[in-house]
Amino acid sequence: MISPPRMPQTAISDSRDSILVPRHRTPRPSTTTYDHVILGAGCAGLSLAWHLRSLGDRGSMALVDRRPGYANDRTWCYWDVEPTPFDDLATHAWTRWAVVDERGNWIESQSTRYRYRRLRSIDVYRRILDRLAGDDAIDPYLGASIRATTLEAETVAVDLAQETIRGVRAYTSARRPAALAEAARSGEAAMVQHFLGQTVRTEHSVFDPACPILMDFRVDQSDGPHFVYVLPLSDREALVENTYLFPDPVSASRHREEIASYLDRCFDVERYEVIEEEAGRIPMTTHRPNTAPGARIVPIGLAGGAARPSSGYAFVRIQRQCRRIAEQIAGNRSTRARLDAPIADRKYDFFDAVFLRALLDRPSRAPDLFARMFDGVDADPLVRFLSDRSTLTDDLRMVAALPKVPFLIAASRSTRAWLPRCLGIGSTNDEMDPS
């Protein structure tokens, strides 16, 4: 990736699929105080800019990110339980999917209502950047690392390498607060999902293009919960993602070797071409940054606790969170008002806290728990549950599918850590400082 000079820029130049780099424009005077300073212009930062503009906000805006440009760096999949502005960009959509347990039993689900959509991040970035390109009130600061963020009397000052910019409010996805350490202190369950995925092309037809495998547990479980995710793009092409749920990092080379071994063992594929690679690390915890009313640094995206704690899915939640924040701003709320943007009903935090606790108590249980969930609950209620849209009947189906004793024990332990926060008792980070 080429590093362009750091200066405010607009308009997008596009070199095919590879990298989108905004073109330069005249820098705004350094005395400018922006209405919005968006720290981290990835999924959440760009989505917030999109939702603000969609709701008629015309405030001046700085979009700050250390990345010099935009590449196709990730795949976003989600169930379409509610519309997002990017649904039509989906390259694939499935109504059928499978989970495979350790013994090789296939559990297939067929939805009658929901599709599991696949977006390429570059298509989302392009749509948003194209729309923002003609907007003179927006200054993208790309290739700009955030050094420090300081609360001043009426503004937030953001130190970049060569200058300081100011905003009435800042929204940050740029650095995750110490969510896992805070969760550990508060007694809430926390795990990390880390993965590396390769889009592979095989010589022969091996994948079923109609059926993604959401979790295949036919891999070594001795280090902790471990599965492979197979997203078939055709009968010869798939994103194959090696995923672990435990805190210790796994090297990229180990991930690649395990993908090779999995393809060999489970698909009889020895030779394949790697077309793309993506990797990630998602905190899985019900612990949320707790902003005070009127906080001028508002956490968004993963930093704002948008990932569903039990699954790591975040895309739809990020859209929901950014839309709600934009709605609150568009509603002319005072700058001292709380922008709390609840992402989902609190019941999901409780379910997830119990689920994570049950996994942490006995990690070897993971394949059985996920298999029971997909086996015991029909596709549509399961999708609603996983996407924060479940009815009481759906919730009861889920409870009925899972083992009672370990979950009761986990529930009693989780309640002690979770209840005080749910009732608003406990610590509050008055302002989250991402510096």
Ligand X SMILES: Cc1cc2nc3c(=O)[nH]c(=O)nc-3n(C[C@H](O)[C@H](O)[C@H](O)COP(=O)(O)OP(=O)(O)OC[C@H]3O[C@@H](n4cnc5c(N)ncnc54)[C@H](O)[C@@H]3O)c2cc1C
Q: Give the interface with ligand X as residue ranges (CB under 6 A).
A: 40-45, 64-67, 74-78, 145-146, 173-175, 278-280, 282, 301-303, 313-315, 318
Least distance in angstroms from the C-beta of 221 to ligand X: 22
Between residues 80 and 368, which has the closer beta carbon with respect to ligand X? Answer: 80
- The minimum distance between CB 283 and ligand X, in angstroms, equals 10
Give the C-alpha distances (Å, rounded to integers) separating 5 from 10, 134, 143, 162, 174.
13, 20, 7, 11, 20
3-state SS assignment for residue 226 = strand
CB closer to ligand X out of 75 and 414: 75
Tell me the C-alpha distance between 4 and 46, whole Å. 19
Between 78 and 244, name the residue whose CB sits nearer to ligand X: 78
Residue of minimal CB distance from ligand X? 42
What's the CA gap between 156 and 169, in Å, rounded?
6
Smaller CB separation from ligand X, 193 or 415: 193
Assigned token pair, 413: 């332990």
Nearer to ligand X, 78 or 262 (CB): 78
* SS3 labels along 97-160: EEEECCCCCEEEEECCCCCEEEEEHHHHHHHHHHHHHCCCCEEEEECCCCCEEEECCCCEEEEC
- Shortest reach from residue 420's CB to ligand X, in Å: 27
**Shortest distance, CB of residue 43 to ligand X, whole angstroms?**
3
The total of other beta-carbon atoms located within 10 Å of residue 210's CB is 11
Closer to ligand X by CB, 64 or 260: give it: 64
Distance of CA 252 to the CA centre of its chain: 20
Q: How far is the CB of 375 from ligand X (least distance, A)?
A: 23
Instruction: Name the minimum Å distance from CB 42 to ligand X.
Output: 2
Angle, to 10 degrees, between the axis of helix 366-376 and the axis of helix 346-361? 140
